[in-house]
Amino acid sequence: MSFFEANISRLAQSDSALAAALRQSRGGTLETLPARTGVISARVHGRWIHSAYDPVKEAQAWVEGQRYEEGETLVVFGVGLLYHVEALCARLPRTAGVVLVVPDLSVLVDAAVARTWDDWMKRVSWAWGATEAIGERISAAGHPLRLVTYAPAAALHSDSHRAIESALQRKVAAQAGGQLRIAVVGPIYGGSLPVTRYVVSALESLGHDVRWLDHSVHATSYHQLELLKNSQHRLALQSKYAEMLSRITMAQLAEDPPDLVLSLAQAPLILPALEHLRRKKFLTAMWFVENYRHLTYWQQLAAGYDFWFVIQQAPCIAALKQAGAKDVRYLPMAADPSVHRPVELTLAEREEFGSDVSFVGAGYANRREIFPRLLGHDWTFKLWGNEWDGATALTSILQRNGVRIDTDTCQKVFNASAVNLNLHSWAGAGLDPNGDFVNPRTFELASCGAFQLTDCRSLMPDLFTASEVATVSSSEALPGEITRWLREPEQRVAMAAQARQRVLAEHTYVHRMRALLSHVGVASPDRIGSILRGDRQAAALAVAADESFSSVASTLRTFPPAQRVELKQLAAQIRSRGPMGTLSREDLMVLMLDEYRSETKDLV
Amino acid sequence: MKQVLIINVTRMGDLIQTGPLLSRLREEWPDVAIDLVVDRSFTPTAELLPGLRQIISYDFTRLLDDCRTQSKSLVTLMQEMTAWAAPLRAARYDRIVNLTFNRQTGLLASYIGAPDLRGITAGPDGSPIVQNPWLSYFTDLHRHRRFNRFNLVDLYAMGGSGPGAFSPLSVTIPADGRAWAEVFLRSQDRTVRQWIAVQIGASDIMKAWRPEYFGRTLAHLSRHSGVGFVVIGTSAEAEAIELAKTTYRAGGGTAPMLNASGRTTLPQLVGLLSRCQLLLSNDTGPMHLAVGVGTPVIDLSVGHVDHHETGPYGPGHWVIQPDLACSPCGFDQICAHHACKDRLISEEVAALCLHALERAPFPSWSLGVRIYQSSVDADGLGSFSLREGHVDAGAAWYAAFWRRFWFEDFTGRPSQLAPNAEVAPDHAHAMAWMREAIQPLRQLEQRARHIATLTRRQPLPVSLLQQEQARLRQGREQLLPQMMAHSATGPSTVAMIRDIHNDDVVGLTMLADRHVKAYRRWQQRIDRVNTLLSAEPVQFEKRQRPLPMIESAVSVTPVSITRS
């Protein structure tokens, strides 16, 4: 009997539908050929899926690098010739579940033809079929799921894997009951400061316990350093100051350790501090809401954070990974509809803030070069914002002498202008030819229900359609586009309304934070994932404690069933019995562990 | 067979200083089996201690991280810790001696349980209490530290067992470590006759002498032929060591200087120390290792370090202490100037090194330091004699007084130390204060007794009881500041405060009875101080006691069972 027949017959005992489907399928995706050790290896288009020397040893080495916590089910991405799955089954305890994701049956056919499957395959559940079916199959495994990827094989079906992972994240997001404790580390000043505020608000609205470590209170001192004329002194002291703020952050984290430390771009946490946090088992994430090409300090921090979220796609993700980041995900900007919303303006306000064309933002080089060309037309043009010093050609349209515009004013300008220009910043002339990410202003304008004319961005189509946001492909075309849109008031209103609906449906900070936490939850099933699943709630813990710790189980049942209970809460409950209460040995154990929990000396 | 469990999880030096307790326990129970709980990182250190049945290690750092970040559910944490502690509970120890002075290990000790618990344990409500007078004394040492003359080693030994004959620190010199050290030194420089080990760093910057001063000291020593230096320490101390080396070279240092820091295993370090003729060191774990292998030590006792507590134990060592009003500073002190370190003059430190190497007479000293020589006193305890410098007469008098007092109070046996030959410097003032204090002290005891009576009434007179407790508390709080302020009453008042908060019983009446005893004990101690201070000073002939030889180092291959 051939390998294929033997393997399929064995498979039919556990998954007859899959066995039948494989009989109907054709292989041919993998090119199989012997490795140096004599066993079969495989490649696709000349790229090796398994080692050309020793696939067995390679699989064992891969397994060594995988994490597993008791009670978890491992979901494996990447099929190949299944050497890694076999090695994984050999390494894991018998109770551990293994689900293999099969996005393409032809690869599995090749695997069945190439080599025999032994008893290890009885332990494997096969998730196959359409993306949704695979997602369902995986979710049905029930246990905490940990995703592991055998990258050489998984690369063949990366789109399918992304879709499946997203489906799992959506499931986590849907399950999430809140109750995470999150410390948000904000910047001293700058564009990510308001974003921090929106992030905090979004996380709170999701029901999490959020602490904002707000470093904007140090801005005055920091700006004083900018007044130093000697650049060496200035840079040295700013560096020392950042280090000091990093230490302050550590002290604040030590006082009340969170489940997750979420930094926003420019957060003053330096690499040694992040490394120390990792040694002390803190989970850290960074939402880098900056253009990675302009601000490059991520290179020094890449290896420090456990999770990176960025507003740019492939090149940015690849660069961060090359710099040492382990987990990088795309997470575009968003808007906060409670802040950025349509407002009714008085006549006086319309007079003050309104114009045919407006722009709100800082005086970057490309804007300084383009905007003078928009003067002298038959439309009114108002320019709002700061850092326009020396732009003499624009003096006549610059409002309020170029002071920084607050959010409230911004919103009024957005609502009062017929065409809101939204040109992404760039250091060159004209429009950024490599513009990829979509700036916050795009989402904020849309959330305000305001019409905007935006420069083309490669990531825009995934976020807004052409019927939601108008775009312009060159600076030369800009005057013509403005003229066109000023003549289409009804279409402007319709597009703005659709853009706002899109934001409300998909692009709020709540959406982003849900996605962020879902990813972290899927990637850390024993920690964030476990909390989001509700495993740390009193009722679930009481059940888990029933078998070995009856006294603790009883105490846990005195809490509301859905309340998250950790050592701190349980110990407080035990202590609340007062000096005349009696302690069981289990109680002593809880109090001891709680004393360890409250130790802070080694953190700062 | 008796079984004893010692819990000592925090520092290398503390572990080495546990050695005499092991000897004392074997004196108390010749067939005793002693197990030791240590942090996993200190297992190699524990393996140097001879005579342990088992070393039981745990990664307490990981436990702390897991608990603090809540990376595991509380049930998982309990399962893991319970599984680890199960054999300890099953062992049914006769005594547990907790030498780690924190709440965590106190709760662990109570969790494991034994008929005789010593050190910090958990009271009936889980609050920390301290069992055993010596270990209570140690817990509160920071409150009367200028009068303390007990070394930590003796407190461990007497607290964990009882008084007994002097027993030196003793660590095993592993055969492979000794062999490595032989090769290391022999291969480096054959012109060196006397190797001086130098420990420049310390776990806490507060207790580290300045690296530049080390460099200058070694440069001075370098002018004497046949001397060589071996720098020890961890790789984390590299920056300080480099600074010392730079200063050494700038100061004209030419003698061989070997850098073994960060390059030795613990057995190799022990081997190296055993092969050196002297260790110049801050108060650190390696200092105690050197003492344990019989290598003389010069201890630079700066910052918050007080050599009376943690200085080199037993005869043959030297201590240099800055003479500065704030020195030694408080345990948690953060100092901006570290001025105490500037009091130690490099040339003088070098001169003492030469004296310790028997190459020069005892040097003369500037005014900013005190020089102590270590010894063993008539009670068989480690002690230090002032060889040079000045101490405050009042502090010295009361330190000697309380040293005898507590020994007799805690052991119930007379001290062999001669009483102070002069009356207390503040004799009249102290006597007047004690006469004044005796009445309020009696009132406090009477009130406590009255409360105990009230607790026995049925029904319980709650309101009256609360009033009386408030009065008692008020009376005590009024008296405490003055009692604490006087050298004649402060230390026993510290003991009373510990007594009154050491609630190891359950129930109102038992608690009240316990407090009655605490007030009575306080009053009795003050009475005794009063009697001793009233007595005429005893004139006695001062005579020099011969110092025991150091024969603490034994060279055997360690046999220890480590269980994770």
* Residue B86 structure tokens: 């199960």
CB neighbours of A484 closer than 8 A, spacing ≥ 6? none
d(CA B183, CA B293): 18
| Residues A474, A478, A479, A480, Cα dihedral to 10° | 80
Shortest alpha-carbon distance between residue B543 and chain A (Å): 48
The model's pLDDT over A273-290, given as tens digits with 9 standing for 90+, comes to 999 999 999 999 999 999
Q: Determine, for residues A536 and B73 on separate chains, whether the beta-carbon distance falls below 8 Å.
A: yes
Q: Determine, for residues A596 and B69 on separate chains, whether the beta-carbon distance falls below 8 Å.
A: no
Q: Is the pLDDT of residue A141 over 80?
A: no
* Bridge partner residues of B382 (DSSP): B376
Q: Determine, for residues A579 and B503 on separate chains, whether the beta-carbon distance falls below 8 Å.
A: yes
The model's pLDDT over B78-107, given as tens digits with 9 standing for 90+, comes to 999 999 999 999 999 999 999 999 999 999
Q: Determine, for residues A566 and B70 on separate chains, whether the beta-carbon distance falls below 8 Å.
A: yes
d(CA B441, CA B445): 6
Pairing of strands B278-282, A97-102: unpaired
The DSSP call for residue A439 is -
Q: Is the pLDDT of residue A200 over 90?
A: yes
pLDDT at B460: 94
Q: What is the 3-state secondary structure (H, E, C) of A133-183?
A: HHHHHHHCCCCCEEEEECHHHHHHHHHHHHHHHHHHHHHHHHHCCCCCEEE
pLDDT at A579: 65
Burial of A481 (0-12, 13-18, 19+ CB in 10 A): middle
pLDDT at B333: 78
Identity of the residue in A281, A282, A581 whose CB atom sits nearest the CB atom of B125: A581
The DSSP call for residue B172 is B
Q: Determine, for residues B82 and A593 on separate chains, whether the beta-carbon distance falls below 8 Å.
A: no
The model's pLDDT over B43-79, given as tens digits with 9 standing for 90+, comes to 999 999 999 999 999 999 999 999 999 999 999 999 9
Per-residue confidence at A111, pLDDT binned at 50, 70, 90? very high
The model's pLDDT over A551-604, given as tens digits with 9 standing for 90+, comes to 999 999 999 888 899 999 999 999 888 766 679 999 999 999 999 999 888 877
Residue type (1 letter), A444: E
Q: Is the pLDDT of residue A178 over 70?
A: no
User: B73 to chain A: which residues are within 8 Å by CB?
Assistant: 530, 535-536, 541, 544
pLDDT at B563: 35
**Mean pLDDT along residues A17-41:** 92
pLDDT at A167: 73
- Alpha carbon A179 to chain centroid, angstroms: 19
Q: Is the pLDDT of residue A166 over 80?
A: no
pLDDT at B164: 94
pLDDT at A177: 58
**Mean pLDDT along residues A413-427:** 95
pLDDT at A94: 84
Instruction: Please name the residue that has the structure tokens 């420069």.
Output: A455
Burial of A578 (0-12, 13-18, 19+ CB in 10 A): exposed
d(CA B250, CA A227): 40
d(CA A483, CA A419): 10
Report which of B280, B304, B420 is spatially closest to residue B357, judged by C-alpha positions: B280
d(CA B173, CA B273): 10
- Ranking A115-124, A167-176, A229-238 by mean pLDDT, the lowest is A167-176
d(CA A365, CA A426): 7
Q: Determine, for residues A599 and B63 on separate chains, whether the beta-carbon distance falls below 8 Å.
A: no
Q: Is the pLDDT of residue A163 over 90?
A: no
- Alpha carbon B96 to chain centroid, angstroms: 19
Beta-sheet strands, E only, within A133-253? 145-149, 181-185, 209-213
* CB pairs A-B closer than 8 Å: 117
What residues of chain B, 450 to 509, have a C-beta less than 8 Å from chain A?
A: 503, 506-507
* Residue B159 structure tokens: 């607290």
Given phi > 0 = left and psi -120 to 50 = alpha, else beta, which region is A71?
Answer: left
The model's pLDDT over B283-342, given as tens digits with 9 standing for 90+, comes to 999 999 999 999 999 999 999 999 999 999 999 999 999 999 888 988 777 888 899 999
d(CA B114, CA B94): 6
Q: What is the 3-state secondary structure (H, E, C) of A511-560?
A: HHHHHHHHHHHHHCCCCHHHHHHCCCEHHHHHHHHHCCCHHHHHHHCCCC
- Ranking A68-82, A158-172, A297-311, B23-37 by mean pLDDT, the lowest is A158-172
Q: Say yes or no: B64 contacts chain A, CB-CB below 8 A.
A: yes
pLDDT at B300: 97
pLDDT at B540: 52
Shortest alpha-carbon distance between residue B80 and chain A (Å): 11
pLDDT at A134: 83
User: A570 to chain B: which residues are within 8 Å by CB?
Assistant: 74
**Mean pLDDT along residues A157-167:** 79
DSSP H or E stretch at residue B531: helix B508-534
Q: Determine, for residues A541 and B71 on separate chains, whether the beta-carbon distance falls below 8 Å.
A: no
Q: Is the pLDDT of residue A14 over 70?
A: yes
pLDDT at B547: 45
Percent of chain A with pLDDT over 70: 97
Q: Determine, for residues B111 and A565 on separate chains, whether the beta-carbon distance falls below 8 Å.
A: no
Shortest alpha-carbon distance between residue B7 and chain A (Å): 14
- Using DSSP's 3-state secondary structure scheme, residue A349 falls into helix
- Length of chain A as a residue count: 604
The model's pLDDT over A84-98, given as tens digits with 9 standing for 90+, comes to 999 999 988 888 889
pLDDT at A603: 77
pLDDT at B24: 97
For chain B, which ranges sit under pLDDT 50? Answer: 542-564
Structure-model confidence comparison of residues A352 and A427, the more confident one:
A352
Identity of the residue in B78, B102, B503 whose CB atom sits nearest the CB atom of A593: B78
Shortest alpha-carbon distance between residue B515 and chain A (Å): 16
Per-residue confidence at A72, pLDDT binned at 50, 70, 90? confident
For A180, nearest residue in chain B (alpha carbons) = B70
